[in-house]
Structure 1
Amino acid sequence: MSSPQESTQGATPGQAPSPTGIVVGIDGSEQSNCALIWAAREAKTRNLPLHLVTAYTVPIFAASGLDGGYATVDDDVIRQGAEAVLRESAAKVAHLDIQMDARVENGDAAGVLLELSETAELLVFGSRGRGGFIGRLLGSVSSALPAHAKCATVTVPLSCAKRLGEGPGSEEAIAKIEKVVIVGVDGSDQARYAVLVAAEQAQRSGSTLRIICAVQPYTGSLSWMPAPVDREALFAEIQLQLDAGEKWVRSHFPKLPIEVQLIEGSAVEVLVKASETAELVVMGTRGRGGFAGMMLGSTTDGVRHHAKGPIMVVRDREDPRQGDRSAFGPLLQA
């Protein structure tokens, strides 16, 4: 591994080589520490390089009093502090013996990470950060990244610390984790691509793939409908499509253990609950409603903000494996 100091000297967006492995956002907070550990282990599993990245902007303060003017903070001081944070972070995962480098980028954190996502395979960050001298790498920035990043993103909440082996009570927390990768579906093309990505993740980690479809419970909010909803018929139709989808996935991953669950409940609540014990929950960036009412889009944000475990958000992409889905049975039509 090249030392963080060497790999960050003079680095600005566009100058350093574009990362092609896993990028993790670092700001020295406990949240980014959780993201770092998860990202490093994932890099080990995938045999990919890990790139530690932090970004900052030099603050400018308006002077008060009779003498107008502006004062700036010394750029070198901020950069040295950022480099120190990266060195400390790199040391935490050095024992994994993975290819790793680190870089300090001068610029808006969201813009920096979005640019790096154009070549990275995966972008990992904590759910929120501390701001501080590095600026605002996490927090509101992490909320914007899944919707705009060019690669898949993983949000790792601070509540993952114990399951990652950090702090007292970690053994008990680790024991509760199932060897399962969960993916939320709603019948949309976006969800089908997310299923393929989740299946690859489960196969890579030796886990079971669990496909979950949540159907919004009937409430008074549906009283405007012209006729009563036939819940049994609705569930039967959805189950038929889920069974066909399961056969399709098995055709591409014949050795992968697969489970399918059709659950009545709020999609956000169902997936947040599942995140407590799952290795990973995978979702698409957006959906179209579909047979579950609404699964992705705003639901993805709701799950990410309340999840108890890592959440992967997958960008919608065309995949040739989707071309034979209709051969296995009914699917939701546009």
Structure 2
Amino acid sequence: MNGPVVVGVDGSPSSLVAVEVAAREAGLRGVGLRLVHAFGWPAAHVPPGGRPWPSGSAGMRELVDGTLTKAERLAHETAAGIDIMREVVVGEPVLVLEIESRTASLAVVGSRGHSRFGALLLGSTAGHLAAHAACPVLVVRDRPKPGGPVLLAVDGSPAAKGAVEFAFAEASLHGTDLVALHAWNTRTDRAYAGPSDPPFVTYDEDRLRDEEQRVLAEALSGMGERYPDVEVHRRLVRGRIRHTLIEASADAGLVVVGARGRGGFAGLLLGSVSQALLHHAQCPVAVVRTREGAP
């Protein structure tokens, strides 16, 4: 999709860092940047075609204009020459950005915005958008590390295909390496899925490792030919999946993960690994939902 990069702006330090990241992404992709500020006021309080602020609220209007002007200036400083659009919308931020994502190539938000709940590790807008957006969502937890590789969380599930595509494209755009990390442990049952396998077995570690190596290879199959400029480092790690990925994120410029992987319940839109990374990764996190019917 060649839609704009959309970024939520609320004036918080986190959202301003998100603006920088979004501007850079828009510049690399050759698309416009859309700065969106949402008012969480009930729509019934605003007449059709009315202004997003009532009469006598000049101070609020000045505050919003100042916030967007600051964001626009920052975006131009980050990526000169990109087309920038500003939008002020009445509605809950989570719903506004979800609607905006339907025509966007990427949605970018800070991990925490202005909120009464300052102690939360992840803002409600970021968490909701990652689970429901119609395009990839980049949650800016911290400033990207210059030159840091793209870290791809590989689980081999169909739901992660979009994440693999996105990770390779990002590494190519940014001119960085890609680290494809597949973590596994002896609780996996993929290597013992045959009907003749007993319910309780002594795990053959070599057999398990070979199976997980195959999962990693299949997940990356064909991507090297499509992105010959991306240097890929394959990492097969035995250990706790969430802990391993969070630890590896310390050296990455971006972590890319699917919305739901193996073992997830069908009704859950965001898997436990995705949630853990959104809360604890040490760099920005991109959550990519594979569209239904995608090959």
Specify the TM-score bucket, using the shorter chain as the normaliser.
0.7 to 0.9
1:285 and 1:254 map into 2 onto residues whose CA distance is: 26
- Identity among equivalent positions (%) equals 35
Q: Is the 8 A contact 1:154 1:311 kept in 2?
A: yes
- 1:299 aligned onto 2:273: yes
> CA separation of 1:313/1:127 partners in 2, compared to 1, >3 Å: closer, same or farther?
same
Secondary structure in 2 matching 1:93:
helix
SS in 1 for 2:60: helix
Q: Contact (CA 8 Å) 2:156, 2:219: kept in 1 or not?
A: no
Q: Whose Rg is larger?
A: 1
CA drift of 1:255 comes to: 3.6
- 1:313 matched to 2:282: no
Q: Residues 147 and 269 from structure 1, CA distance in 2 versus in 1: closer, same or farther, beyond 3 angstroms?
A: same
Higher relative contact order, structure no. (Cα contacts within 8 Å, ≥ 6 residues apart)? 2
How far apart are the structure 1 equivalents of 2:247 and 2:171?
A: 19
Are the aligned partners of 2:156 and 2:218 in contact in 1 as well (CA < 8 Å)? no
Aligned to 1:184: 153
Matched residue, 2:32: 49
Q: TM-score by structure 2 length?
A: 0.80
Q: 2: CA distance between counterparts of 1:207 and 1:217? A: 32
Q: Is the 8 A contact 2:161 2:290 kept in 1?
A: no
User: Which residue of structure 2 lines up, in the alignment, with residue 124 of structure 1?
Assistant: 108
Are residue 156 (structure 1) and residue 130 (structure 2) matched? no
CA–CA distance in 2 between the matches of 1:243 and 1:262? 10
State the match for 1:274 in structure 2. 248
Q: Distance in 2 between matches of 1:309 and 1:115?
A: 26
- Provide the C-alpha distance between the structure 2 equivalents of 1:251 and 1:20, rounded to a whole number of angstroms: 26
Shift of the alpha carbon at 1:116? Answer: 0.5
Aligned residue pairs: how many?
262
1:53 offset after TM fit, Å? 0.8
Q: 1:111 to 1:75 in 2, by over 3 A?
A: farther
Q: Unaligned stretches of 5+ in structure 2?
A: 43-53, 117-121, 188-198, 265-269
Whether the 8 Å contact between 1:186 and 1:289 is mirrored in structure 2 is no
Question: 1:1-334, aligned counterparts within 5 Å?
Answer: 20-58=3-41, 77-95=59-77, 96-97=79-80, 98-131=82-115, 139-157=123-141, 159-160=142-143, 174=145, 177-216=146-185, 226-289=200-263, 297-317=271-291, 322=295
CA–CA distance in 2 between the matches of 1:112 and 1:247?
37
Q: Name the SS for the 2:88 alignment partner.
A: strand
Alpha-carbon shift at residue 277 of structure 1 (Å) = 2.0
| Deviation of 1:199 (Å) | 0.8
Q: Whole-Å Cα distance in 2 between the matches of residues 282 and 306 of structure 1?
A: 14
Aligned-partner SS, 1:256: coil
Distance (whole Å) between structure 1 residues aligned to residue 125 and residue 278 of structure 2:
13
The alignment partner of 2:102 has SS state of coil
Q: CA deviation at 1:182?
A: 1.4
1:22-58 CA-partner distances (Å, limit 9, x unpaired) = 0111111111111111111111111111111111134
Deviation track 1:158-208 (CA, whole Å, cap 9, x = no partner) reads x32xx5xxxxxxxxxx5xx54421111111112233111211111121121
- Which runs of 5 or more residues in structure 1 are unaligned? 1-18, 60-71, 133-137, 164-173, 219-224, 291-295, 323-334
CA distance in 1, matches of 2:245, 2:234: 14
Alpha-carbon offset, residue 99 of structure 1: 0.9
Structure 1 residue 81: Cα displacement: 1.9
In 1, the alpha carbon distance for the partners of 2:293 and 2:179 equals 20
